[in-house]
Structure 1
Amino acid sequence: MADKNSIPTKLIWVDLEMTGLDPAKDLILEVAAEVTDFDLKTLESYETCVRQKREAVVSLMQANIWWKDFPGNRDEFLESIVEGRPQDRVEQELIALVDKHFGAEPAVLAGNSIYNDRMFIKKYMPALDLKLHYRMLDVSSWKVLMQGKYGVVYEKKEIHRAFDDIQASIAELQYYLDWFKNNKG
């Protein structure tokens, strides 16, 4: 890991779609990552489904009421996990992405409610976790601040697909940054 005082020049946005929110029992279904600079320009993207046993995924989905509200997503995941990449391969591909773009620079994880994704990374992709800086850029923290202090509400579609969710998180952060730029003083 890089020196804690190193100044990052890029972010690695990660979004995971899982069977639920508990890393102790739930499984990762889909992973997307996007490396951006601080102007939020995309440098490289990555997206894949993770191979999982269908029976285990169905059982976990049935235990989570959330999946009843997103039957299209549920059905797509159930089809794609059989053809997905093995989790250890996904981890190695993500490590290669981090190494390519960050080298000795701190790889700051970014996203919405990113702490939960980080807990899944810590459990299921521990070698990747070791490559990530302890600091994270969580857009949901911006949301709390903007709503509570300034009354600024950003409406975002709930898509719940990893790549689309990253795009939505980047757009949300850009919205807040633009708000500050246009409301100086």
Structure 2
Amino acid sequence: MRARPDACGPAPRVRAAVHTRVPVRVPEAERRTRPLSVALKLTRMNDSLVWIDCEMTGLDFENDALIEVACLITDGELNILDEGIDVVVKPPQAALDGMGDFVRDMHTTSGLLDELDKGLTLQEAENAVLEHIRQYVREPGKAPLCGNSIATDRTFLARDMKRIDEFLHYRMIDVSSIKELLRRWFPRVYYAGPEKAGGHRALADITESIHELRYYRAAGFVPEPGPSTAVARAVAADITEGGDGKQAREAASAAEAAGLEEK
């Protein structure tokens, strides 16, 4: 959810609610999809990343409710593996009545508010999302949860969709943490980042989170194939001894390059 002013399989009707929205939220031109055989899914399942974005009636854990959950699965290279899943959840009336003006306006503009009356129950939504995750992640505790400011989403998942929370690894990949580091270390990368237009809908927002991490990887990370083992070990040793690793990296890289030239 971006509601901040500063910034057990499913029943047939669950499937219908899930799939009618997907083409609208993830246009073909905006997706990298790879049809996977069952065997290929299994070989990649330990590298799978589970991306989730939630929309809520607010950020108050005690009183606000989940109203939309979207999930996409990527491989370790950030390729989206299928169309994903997007479920709308019907919240308690008290949560609707308690929405602040900012959040109400946001969900009205996005069209989500009009869909809530026909939303699923929490259990139906949880069943559908968990079934989707299990197509790519067969073992519990293997895949981390990914997203933007994902700790907030996970707090609501842990409260309302415990089976999903418990199925995922306790580690999380938070794109917003990488964003904050790049703002401090490589501000040009930070300020030149791709614009967002998700419109506060869960599937569009989580798709943009994946695109954002692809950008940070390409623009702000060490290019592939990365440092050699020898260079990495030299940096690690220097850090252990209290250095910043930079001179050690340069020296080890220069020595390695000289050795290659001699050959």
TM bin, normalised by shorter chain, reads 0.7 to 0.9
Question: Which of 128, 137, 145 is the matching residue for 1:102?
Answer: 137
Structure-2 change in CA distance of 1:134 and 1:98 (3 Å): same
Post-superposition Cα deviations, 1:141-165, rounded to whole Å, max 9, x if no partner, equal 1101111111122253252110111
Matched, 1:112 2:152: no
Structure-2 change in CA distance of 1:39 and 1:123 (3 Å): same
* SS of match in other structure, 2:98: helix
Question: Does the Cα contact within 8 Å between 1:20 and 1:64 map onto a contact in 2?
Answer: no
Question: Which of 128, 133, 153 is the matching residue for 2:169?
Answer: 133
Post-superposition Cα deviations, 1:30-84, rounded to whole Å, max 9, x if no partner, equal 110001101111123111111224x3343122x35343456412xx222211111
More strand by share: 1
Give distance in 1, aligned partners of 2:107 and 2:113. 12
Amino acid at match of 1:134: Y
1:172 deviation in Å? 0.6
* SS of match in other structure, 1:133: coil
Partner of 1:12: 50
Q: Give the TM-score of the pair, scaled to structure 2.
A: 0.61
Give distance in 2, aligned partners of 1:83 and 1:59. 17
Partner of 1:3: none
Out of 152-161 and 82-91, give the one that drifted further. Answer: 152-161
Aligned residues: percent identity? Answer: 34
Give distance in 1, aligned partners of 2:81 and 2:173. 18
- Give unpaired runs (5+ residues) of structure 2: 1-44, 227-249, 251-263
Partner of 1:4: none
Question: Does the Cα contact within 8 Å between 1:156 and 1:168 map onto a contact in 2?
Answer: no
Matched, 1:86 2:121: yes
Question: Which of 87, 107, 116 is the matching residue for 1:48?
Answer: 87
Aligned Cα root-mean-square deviation (Å): 2.2
Of structures 1 and 2, the one with the larger relative CO (CA 8 A, separation 6+) is 1
Give distance in 2, aligned partners of 1:90 and 1:66. 22
- Give unpaired runs (5+ residues) of structure 1: 1-6
Amino acid at match of 2:132: L
How many pairs align?
175
Out of 147-156 and 23-32, give the one that drifted further. Answer: 147-156
Question: Does the Cα contact within 8 Å between 1:49 and 1:80 map onto a contact in 2?
Answer: yes
Give distance in 1, aligned partners of 2:167 and 2:186. 35
Question: Which of 129, 152, 156 is the matching residue for 2:195?
Answer: 156
Structure 1 stretches of 4+ moved >6 Å: none
* SS of match in other structure, 1:47: strand
Give distance in 1, aligned partners of 2:179 and 2:96. 33
Partner of 2:77: 39
